[in-house]
Every structure is written in C-alpha cells, then in structure tokens.
Structure 1
Amino acid sequence: MSRGFGSYDICPRDEYGGSFGSRLLARLFPSRLKPTLTTPEITRFAGDWLREHARDDFFLWLHYFKPHGPYEPPVAYRPRENPPAGMGYRFGGAPGIRMGSLVIPPPQRPWVRKLYESEVRFVDDNVGEIRAELKRLGIYDETLIVFASDHGEEFWEHGSFEHGHTLYEELIRVPYFIKLPGQGVRLREKERVSTGSIYATVLDLCGIKDDSGWLSYRPLTPLFRNGIFDDEPVLSASPLYYEDREAWIQGSTKWIHSRVTDRVEIFDLTRDPGERRDISMTSPEKEHEGLEDLARLHKADEALREHYRIRGELPAAIDPETLEELHSLGYLH
C-alpha cells in the first residue's frame, strides 16, 4: 500500500487492534502501524507535515475516520438540549440494530442524528484548521484540494440505520468539493457525477496524460472550463451487508439490482428524491432499458479488468495458520 509515497502511516481503529487484518498489517509494517489517531491528532499531524513540506511540490492524502459510529461528539460540540430518556451523549448501537436485537423507538431517533451532525461539525472545524494552515503558509491559492466522503448515513429513511446495507441515496450521495489552484470562481454543479472521477480529474488538472479509453470515469475538467459535461452512468455496488446489489443512475432515473433475488427497483429521482415509489411494476420498459444498460456496463467493466490484469487468481504462499484464520473469518470457503 505504501509504494510510491514518501511517507505512509497506518492508524487502525482501537477496536480493530486484535483483528487478523491488524495483526497482519503490524507484521508487514511494524514501523508504520501507529496507535489510533483522534480527529485533532490527525489535524496536528497534517499541520506539522505541511509546515515541513510547504516549499515542496507535494501530494497529501488524509483520512478522517469521523464522523462515524460510535457517535461521541466532544463536549463543546454536543447538542444543546438534554438527551431524551434512555439516551446519552454516546451512541454505538449499529451492530445491535443490524442484528435486530436493538430497536430504537421513533421519538429517540432524531437524537441519534443530532449526535452524528455534531460529529460532522467537529470534523468540519478540523478541516477548516488545515485550510487556515495552508493560508498561513501562503500556499492555499496554489493548492489543488479535493474533499470527498466514502459513504453517507441512513437514519431510518428506509427502515434501517447506519451504512453498508443499501444503495439508496442517503448512503451513496456524498459531498464532493474541488478547490482549483488560483481559482476564485465558486460553482455548485447540478450534474450528477461520481467520486470515481477523482483520479481522472486530478491527472487532467495536473497535466498528466493517461489513456482516457481505460478510465472508469472521465475527468470533470470540462465542467470547470466551459460548464459542459456529457452525462454518463453513475455506478455504485457491493454493500457490506445482506444481499449484494448494484445501482446505476442515468439522467434522473435510478435502478437498483439485487444480484441474488434478481429484483429490480426503479426510481425517478426528480419526482421522488427520497426513493419512496418504486416504478418498476408500472414501467416495464424502464426495467428492460436498465438491464440492457447494466449488461453494457458489465462488459465495459470486464474489459477494464482484462486491461489492468486484475482478473483471475494470483498465486500466493499462505501458511496453514493464516489459512485457518481466513476460513474462520469467511474470506475463504
């Protein structure tokens, strides 16, 4: 994972400390596997790094784990009102909710969301500190900044909680900001795009040429330059839990395909942004159109896999103890 980076640090979560993955990483990267960093510690780490490299050409990638369960905002960021009966200033009930052993009554659910939003404000202020440091160092204007999230969060919009279990909008529609070097123009684009475009967009903005025929998504630079962008499907796939699904959006229409039961859901995101009305039963032509599109997308995906040689199995020597652990975790069958 660290290939090509001048410095690379792995900071696992506390609860992952005894997992097979953490033990493996500790064995592979003993000098780089550091104790869990809190949000302020990541900010301080970034500030120190920026001060050290302010006069260099640099690439810096930061991953804030928060906002994430368990929700536990610092005292200064807690909601102003008192928690409802049976609730506190920390909530970590996702595993129980997922298993069905914990049911949060509707009157308590808004409080859970407020704790999450408090963590959002906390992280936002920390990102603001890094922005302020870039300005203090005199390099903000010349720096390209990309901000994105890997997923959203559900608060019972579709009857469940947290993330990793569906492909509805509350989980896959995320913030995505790009600050261009020396650019004072501020635009809020309505086009639906994918965070998969980050790679191509950064390469294009940095003047690095790549074969556009072998990229999953085109760069977003035409949007910045002339406001023109060809609509292309936005794909999401592989939730962590329950049935495997894939979703794709073309224009205002969204399809969700459940890969085991072969169920297809279709939503008009303009008329129904909350995805409450599945129109698959009343629009069979839409289902047929969507499945044809999906077949083309799968074909393009197969071509990319072949091109980048990521198909098939790679031989690897694994000792019996590791094999047993992989089997116990469900990675091997």
Structure 2
Amino acid sequence: MRNVVLVVLDTARATSTGQKTTPTLTQLADEGTAFDNAFATAPWTLPSHASMFTGTYPSEHGTHGGHTYLDEALRTLPEAFADAGYETVGVSNNTWITEEFGFDRGFDELRKGWQYIQSDADMGAVVRGEDLREKLQATRRRLFDGNPMVNAANILYSELLQPTGDDGADRSTAWIADWLTARDDDQPFFLFCNYIEPHVEYDPPKAYAEQFLPEDASYDEAVAIRQDPRAYDCEEYELSDREFALLGGLYRAELAYVDDKLGELRTALEDAGTWDETLFVVCGDHGEHIGEHGFFGHQYNLYDTLLNVPLVVHGGSFTGGGQRPDMVQLLDLPATLLETVGIEDPALEKQGSGRSMHPDSTSKPRDVVFAEYVAPQPSIDRLEARFGDIPNRVRAFDRRLRAVRTAKYKYVRSDDGFERLHDIETDPLEHTDIAAEESAQVRTLRDRLEERFEPLSDAGTTDDVAMREGTKERLADLGYL
C-alpha cells in the first residue's frame, strides 16, 4: 500500500452503525476488516485524537480538559508520514483538532472546515462556546486577531450561514475530491479527515431525518427539541423518553448523512485512480449518550456507550479480513498504519503504547483495554459560571476516572474512591454494579490498572502536562525531554 486515508466519524458509537444507518461503512466492512471490539482511550474528542496521533494514553500524552494542548515533545503520526516523504493533508471539522491545540504538526496543510475563508486566525473558540455568553466573549477576544473582516465572515458562516443539515462534510468532501484531481505528482499521501455531523447539535437534512424518526413524529417536532447537554446535566431542563427517542432518530440520520459523504470520498479516490493503492481507515473517536444512564452527550463517565466505536480498515492485507472479535484500541492505529505501509519510525514506536492490528503482525493480542477521563470538559468552574448553583450529581463528576475492560468484565475506578464492576457478558449495557459481590475480581482488575498507570492520586490536572515517569524516561531517551 502507498497511500493512507484516516477518516474519523466524530461521535460515532459502534451500536448505532449498521446496514440501515451506515451502508457505506457496512460495505467497507464486508470488503475489508471490521473490528467489532474497538475502544477509544477517552470519551471525548481532544484526548481521543491525541491518542490516535501519538499512540499514547491520556495520562501519557497529557492532553485533556485540564491541559488542552498536545505537548510538542510528543511525536505525531503525521510527522512520521511527512518525514517518510508523504504529502500530508488534514481536513478538520472539529475545532479542537487545529494548530491552536498542537494538531498541525506534520501536516503540509490542515484545513478548518468551519471557516468560509481559510485563515490562520482561528475563530474556533466562538464555535466551541457552550452558550451565547461564551460565544460573545470569544468574539470580543478574537475578532481583531488578524483581519477582522475575514474573522467576522468566518464567525457569521459558522454560526448563521452554514447550510442546514451539513456541518462541513459536503464542503470537505468536495475539496478533497478537487485536491485528488489536481495532484500531478507520484508522491504518496496521508489524508486525515474529521466529519463532525453526528455531534450535537443533531440537525440532519429533513429527508434523512424522516427515515429514522418514529412514524408518529414530525421533523419539526424533532428539531424543536432543546439540545444542550450541559444544561440537561445541570437539571436546567428535562427530556422525556419520547424526546430522547426523537433525538436518537436525528442522531442516526446524521450518521446516515455522513455515511453518504464517506461513499462520495471513496468515489473520489476511485476516480483519481488511487483507491486500489490506498489503505482506507474509518473509525469513531468516541460515542454518545442519548439518554442512556441518565446522560446526554459524552462527558463525565466511561461507559461503553462512549468508548466502543466503529473501526473498519480496507486495503492490502485487510481486504477480505472479515470480522475480528479481538479487543483493540484507537491508539493502536499509529503502529498499524506504519507497519502496513512499511515505515519505520523508532521515535513514534518507542513512545507509544499501541500494538499493530496488521493481520501478519507479531504483536501480542490485547487481553484488556484501558480508558481514562482525566478532567471534566467543561470544568465545574465553567458550569458554575453559567448555571450558578449546580446539582450535587454533577459536582460529583469533578473527578478523574480510569477503566479496564476484559472480554467479560468492566471495572471503573475514580480518584475519590468510587468504583464499579460489570459483567459485560450478562450485563452489556452496564446497568448492574457487582463490585460488592465480586471483590476478588475487583482486586484483580484494580491491580491491572495500577500495573498500567501511576496511582490516581498522583495524576495532575493543572496546566502542566502530567505524564507517567516511564513515559518521561522514554521521551528523554529519544531526546524529546
């Protein structure tokens, strides 16, 4: 294989994909290899992408709600491809994945899908604002950073003028198609693309929504439902079972819409004559709660609803690989991609915790997967600034979480002493905590967490990046620290 395309379906959970919702992805899985038990290392975009780009866990790469920048000491996947002679291009529709947070390293070009006019001055802080107050504050701070006319145009486009039902997927796919057509050299390429449509707010085109809404529901009724996860968490408003059912329909419609764009991207690669020599990888970066466990969105916990993501690989040895039940992690992608195309990058390989998923790899299969939630995003302080007195239920989520999962058990532990255990085989939805009844299993899995990570009480969430001593030593050996 010569080229690599990595597509992230932002906020895509594995349980919501399938023939009806994502037929393009299903076809790719049928032709390639589908990993049925793929897990993110974190339940939201920033730390999950950092793991995909560096092959490290959140407490190792230190990129989380308490420190939102990818440390320059870390080697990244795009840097490995660039140094191997690849043209490296990224198209991001998520405002976390930009140069503002250190994700541009190694890219010849990293486009911002929410910008009408590409500009170094990033108005992403406006897009990320949790409410109108934060958006206005960000506008005042950023408007005169560079050309105010360009900045104003980009703010107006992202906040008011962006086409209904599309959050950048259409423009991004069209741009990639044009870029593929215009390429006139034989240089291999690494292409990264983040499609954000499945993320709140769910506002799919009407034709898509009507395929997934209940028969007795209208499009207007569904899109009128308030979609404000943090306000819901803080009990500012309530959602009924019916409203969550409608929101679930809108969410699946967003997946269906972006799946069609995935098909267009494949067609663009075929038309450019590069499909047969391209390793094509599609994954979610994390999942979503739409009423499950009393949550809306993807913060504060480590349920499989947020961690189990789709992962499909097509091309080369992965073609015709069928369904693989072994447990894998998104941080395994760097090792897998480099091995598949034959790139040796000792710095990235030594830095990472990943294991290659290549069919012929000698890497030992995983018997467990891990996940971390290092710091709340938004912080409790930001929630208090917006809502005033917040519920004790939410205040309790101001904690650090780690999870370890085997094929049978899932154990979660926090830095405030909270812990729970689930039998995944008999309780796949994680409704029943059996920690009290299975104390021996709790001890076993707690030991696995402590073997893998430093004690929870030692992990920092200040502006300084908190890394394990072992990670610091590895990076120091490589000359990074």
Band the TM-score falls in, shorter-chain normalisation:
0.7 to 0.9
Deviates more, 1:296-305 or 1:133-142: 296-305
2:471 aligned residue: 304
> What is the one-letter code of the residue matched to 1:47?
A
- What count of residue pairs does the alignment treat as equivalent? 307
Following superposition, the deviation at residue 217 of structure 1 comes to 1.5
Following superposition, the deviation at residue 255 of structure 1 comes to 1.0
| 1:225 alignment partner, SS class | coil
Residue 264 (structure 2) aligned to one of 125, 129, 137: 129
Query: Is this contact kept in 2: 1:142–1:182, CA < 8 A?
Result: no
Indicate whether 1:61 and 2:192 are aligned.
Answer: yes
Equivalent runs, 1:138-149 vs 2, <5 Å: 138-149=273-284
2:80 aligned residue: none
Assess, with a 3 A threshold, how the Cα gap between structure 1 residues 27 and 56 changes in structure 2: closer, same or farther: farther
1:328 aligned residue: none
Query: Is this contact kept in 1: 2:402–2:412, CA < 8 A?
Result: yes
Between the aligned partners of 1:86 and 1:280, the Cα distance in structure 2 is: 45
Deviates more, 1:203-212 or 1:129-138: 203-212
1:179 aligned residue: 314
Deviates more, 1:72-81 or 1:114-123: 72-81
Between the aligned partners of 1:22 and 1:143, the Cα distance in structure 2 is: 44
2:431 aligned residue: 276
Residue 247 (structure 1) aligned to one of 403, 415, 418: 403
Give the structure with the higher percent strand: 2
Following superposition, the deviation at residue 179 of structure 1 comes to 1.2
Assess, with a 3 A threshold, how the Cα gap between structure 1 residues 290 and 252 changes in structure 2: closer, same or farther: same
Indicate whether 1:88 and 2:222 are aligned.
Answer: yes
Between the aligned partners of 1:48 and 1:182, the Cα distance in structure 2 is: 29
Query: Is this contact kept in 1: 2:351–2:471, CA < 8 A?
Result: yes
Query: Is this contact kept in 1: 2:283–2:309, CA < 8 A?
Result: yes
The answer to which structure, 1 or 2, has the higher relative contact order (CA under 8 A, 6+ apart) is 2
1:218 aligned residue: 355
Indicate whether 1:106 and 2:223 are aligned.
Answer: no
Indicate whether 1:6 and 2:97 are aligned.
Answer: no
Report % sequence identity: 25
1:26-78 deviation per Cα after TM superposition (whole angstroms, max 9, x unaligned): 95999x99944622111111111222237431111111111111111112212
1:266 aligned residue: 421
State the TM-score, normalized to the length of structure 1. Answer: 0.81
Assess, with a 3 A threshold, how the Cα gap between structure 1 residues 19 and 3 changes in structure 2: closer, same or farther: farther
Give RMSD over aligned pairs: 3.3
Assess, with a 3 A threshold, how the Cα gap between structure 1 residues 264 and 205 changes in structure 2: closer, same or farther: same
Assess, with a 3 A threshold, how the Cα gap between structure 1 residues 150 and 263 changes in structure 2: closer, same or farther: same
Between the aligned partners of 2:344 and 2:143, the Cα distance in structure 1 is: 34
